[in-house]
Amino acid sequence: MRRNAAARKDGRCNSPSSGAFWWMDFTPNVWVRDGEFSLREVVSVPDAVEFLDGWPQDKRNPFFYLAENAMQAAINGSIPVDEAREAFESFCTEAGILAASPDTA
């Protein structure tokens, strides 16, 4: 597990962008098409959970449930965050919403 240089003595993180779950950040971040003309940067396990929670019920398939289960496993510490990120990226690829980072496009 990586250490955060901004961690306080009480163990909480000072970084406002990372929030309370800084150790669950995706590296690299995952970019998805969110609507017809916008991109969304998914930066962490909690961010992916939020995205998945908003996914339409009628479009949920085995890749969705694999990603959802992987996020929960990462939160529980059962799998590394990198594996959860890979499951989320596989879901996004299968759903046709994975996008290249604007920095590399």
Supply 78's token pair: 């059962």
pLDDT of 53 reads 98
Check pLDDT > 70 for residue 3: no
Which helix or strand (DSSP H or E) is residue 83 part of? helix 81-95
Residue 4 contacts residue 23 (beta carbons within 8 Å): yes
How are strands ordered across the β-sheet holding 39-44? 39-44, 25-33, 98-99
Number of C-alpha atoms within 13 angstroms, CB side, residue 103?
5
pLDDT in tens, 55-69: 999 999 999 999 999
- Burial group, residue 70, by CB count within 10 angstroms (0-12, 13-18, 19+): buried
**At residue 92, does pLDDT exceed 50?**
yes
What's the pTM? 0.77
User: Where are the domains positioned within the chain?
Assistant: 32-99
